[in-house]
A = this chain, B = another copy of it.
Amino acid sequence: MVEINRSSFGLSSGQLFQLFRDGQPHTKAELAELTGLARSTISLRLDPLIELGVISPAAENSSTGGRPSTQLVLNERAFVVAGVDFGASHAVASLADFSGKILASIETKRQISDGPEVCLRWMIAELKHLLAGQGIAEENLLAIGIGLPGPVEHSTGKPASPPIMMGWDAFDVPARVNQDFNAKVLVDNDVNVMALGERYASYPDVDHLIFLKAATGIGSGIISGGQLQRGAQGTAGDIGHVRVSSGGGVSCHCGNFGCLEAVASAPAIIKKLVADGLPIRNSSDLIDATKRAKVEAIQAVRQAGRDIGEVLSTCVSLINPAVIVIGGSLASAGEHLIAGVREVVYARSMPLASENLLIVQSKVGKEGGIIGANVMAIDYVLDAETIDSMVNALITK
């Protein structure tokens, strides 16, 4: 039995594997030259990766001719990951390969307040169904990324006092899912996951990005220095309860007063318009009204944009992002919301921080949730440590 030293420096199978993440083919000879490792060491490290199937010989390329050494390449279809996005009243489950390509997905209306047992049982059944449909064995599902509509302690995968998720507080999501799948389970709040998805799909080269979701609630995901920032307790980006100047004494469901969410979320805007006599029942009515150029609706959405902009202008001073992306159902209200955001952010921010700042509507929209959940799972699976533990498991089998 060969023991892979996990503390080895830059030379484990998993670390060697990182070279394949560029998607380019490599030969053993080339890797030996590149790393300075002996050919025998290269084989020792690569052979388990080939046995695992995460790298494999590239398709024959007869045109190059005469090259005897085998080209090896990342096998994007070796295993799959799952990305699941739970909203307050909807859920999407999907499978993706290592390139992030969605292989299959299913979407449904579903209340998060039904609790974890019901919601996760649905998810497990659907993932089994999707795997069967693709002809993929369950043990080939290596990781499941899950976005939930509330604060989550990412390190344990447990929701932390989520306001709208009855029965989920401190529920051990990975433990429950692991009763049915022997896969790594990664959980984060939906807005962090959307930030990952938006960056992956639309701004892969941007290292400083704030994604703000404005819908039933208001929250943000922060990518700074190229990393998603979760903070000490995982609540980084939770800006719905920052007090805003127009908030006055408006009471918020969090128990405080004048919070951003209490004045600028979709329910807050609808409540105000209803009080003004407009027949608006839900977010779609509100979006419709702005599209039909109903002036009261446009004014209310624009004011919500200003309130959001007030908080974002502090974020700009603090984080100095290159891009702010606005998503969520309210962002669908045309340019009215973003116009309000821009009005305040550009008025309040220092010139150096705002001169190159982009404030834009989400490009990926709802898709961002499952893209980000899959990206979270893929980043875990392809990490050197994960690959090394797979290699160790193979060798000690």
A interface, CB within 8 angstroms of B: 5, 7-11, 15-16, 18-19, 33-38, 41, 151, 160-161, 207-208, 220, 222, 224-225, 227, 229-239, 241-243, 245, 254, 256, 310-311, 313-315, 317-322, 348, 350-353, 355-357
Q: List, in ascending order, chain B residues with CB within 8 A of A356's CB.
A: 232-233
A254 in complex: contacting residue of B208, B230, B350, CB < 8 Å: B350
- Pick 16 A–B contacts, CB within 8 A, sort by A: A8-B35, A10-B11, A38-B38, A208-B231, A225-B229, A231-B320, A232-B320, A232-B322, A232-B356, A233-B320, A233-B353, A233-B356, A238-B320, A238-B350, A238-B353, A243-B310
Nearest residue in B to A163 (C-beta to C-beta)?
Answer: B350
Q: List, in ascending order, chain B residues with CB within 8 A of A310's CB.
A: 243
A352 contacts B160, C-beta separation under 8 Å: yes
A222 in complex: contacting residue of B8, B207, B243, B318, CB < 8 Å: B318
B314 contacts A231, C-beta separation under 8 Å: no
A106–B44 Cα gap in the complex (Å)?
Answer: 56
A36–B2 Cα gap in the complex (Å)?
Answer: 13
B37 contacts A36, C-beta separation under 8 Å: yes
CB distance from A170 to the nearest CB of B (A): 12
A34–B10 Cα gap in the complex (Å)?
Answer: 10
Task: Say what secondary structure dominates the interface of chain A.
Answer: loop
A37–B235 Cα gap in the complex (Å)?
Answer: 43
Given A34-B5, A34-B7, A161-B352, decide whether A319 and B231 contact each other with a Cβ distance below 8 A: yes
A374–B222 Cα gap in the complex (Å)?
Answer: 30
A243 contacts B37, C-beta separation under 8 Å: no
CB distance from A384 to the nearest CB of B (A): 10
7 additional contacts (CB under 8 A) given A220-B318, A225-B227: A10-B35, A207-B232, A231-B321, A235-B320, A237-B318, A242-B348, A243-B348
A231–B318 Cα gap in the complex (Å)?
Answer: 8
Q: List, in ascending order, chain B residues with CB within 8 A of A321's CB.
A: 231-232
A185–B237 Cα gap in the complex (Å)?
Answer: 34
Nearest residue in B to A320 (C-beta to C-beta)?
Answer: B231
Q: List, in ascending order, chain B residues with CB within 8 A of A237's CB.
A: 317-318
A236 contacts B314, C-beta separation under 8 Å: no
CB distance from A15 to the nearest CB of B (A): 6
Given A38-B38, A314-B311, A319-B236, decide whether A9 and B5 contact each other with a Cβ distance below 8 A: no
Closest 9 CB pairs of A and B: A10-B10, A231-B320, A232-B322, A236-B320, A9-B35, A208-B232, A235-B320, A235-B353, A11-B36
Q: List, in ascending order, chain B residues with CB within 8 A of A315's CB.
A: 314, 318
A254–B348 Cα gap in the complex (Å)?
Answer: 11
CB distance from A219 to the nearest CB of B (A): 10
Given A314-B311, A353-B238, decide whether A5 and B36 contact each other with a Cβ distance below 8 A: yes
A37 in complex: contacting residue of B11, B160, B314, B357, CB < 8 Å: B11
A351 contacts B317, C-beta separation under 8 Å: no
Q: List, in ascending order, chain B residues with CB within 8 A of A37's CB.
A: 11, 36-37
Which residue, A235, A237, A239, has most C-beta atoms of chain B within 10 A? A235
B352 contacts A242, C-beta separation under 8 Å: no
Q: List, in ascending order, chain B residues with CB within 8 A of A35's CB.
A: 8-11
A231–B352 Cα gap in the complex (Å)?
Answer: 11
A350–B242 Cα gap in the complex (Å)?
Answer: 9
Given A9-B10, A241-B350, A352-B161, decide whether A229 and B319 contact each other with a Cβ distance below 8 A: yes
A161 contacts B236, C-beta separation under 8 Å: no
CB distance from A230 to the nearest CB of B (A): 7
Nearest residue in B to A19 (C-beta to C-beta)?
Answer: B9
A352 in complex: contacting residue of B224, B233, B319, CB < 8 Å: B233
A231 in complex: contacting residue of B16, B224, B233, B254, CB < 8 Å: B224
CB distance from A48 to the nearest CB of B (A): 14
